[in-house]
């Protein structure tokens, strides 16, 4: 005679979602050599660039650069030249009117 077989449903254990776990219990997938502060032997740590402020980002998008001392001098010299040219034009206009 044949044996009657009973089938049991296998229930898989559900692991909690990663976001449900606290940050300390979550395992990092980053290797130890790539973690901040930990360096492999004979390797220099990479320098991380400073975060740019939104004002600097906006200036970069608009095509303006950061105002350096040399650039400031160029702007000041251009302004003085414009002021001199304006003064000459004013003098000419006054002479023509009088």
Give 23-35 pLDDT, tens digit per residue.
555 555 655 555 5
Give 8-65 pLDDT, tens digit per residue.
666 656 555 555 555 555 555 655 555 555 556 666 767 776 676 666 666 666 656 6
Q: Is the pLDDT at 78 greater than 60, yes or no?
A: yes
> Looking at residue 91, what is its pLDDT?
95
* Cα–Cα distance measured from residue 38 to residue 45, given in angstroms and rounded to the nearest whole number: 8
Q: What is the DSSP string of the chain?
A: -PPPP---PPPPPPPPPGGGS-TTTSPP-S-TTTSTT---TT-PPPPPPPPPPHHHHHHHHHT-----HHHHHHHHHHHHHHHHHHHHHHHHHHHHH-
């Amino acid at each position: 005679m044949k044996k009657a077989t009973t089938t049991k449903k296998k229930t898989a254990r559900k692991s909690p979602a990663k976001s449900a776990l606290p940050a300390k219990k979550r395992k990092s997938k980053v290797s130890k050599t790539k973690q901040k502060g930990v360096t492999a032997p004979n390797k220099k740590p990479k320098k991380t660039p400073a975060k740019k402020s939104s004002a600097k980002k906006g200036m970069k998008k608009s095509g303006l650069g950061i105002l350096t001392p040399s650039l400031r001098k160029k702007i000041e010299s251009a302004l003085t030249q414009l002021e001199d040219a304006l003064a000459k034009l004013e003098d000419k206009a006054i002479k023509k009117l009088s």
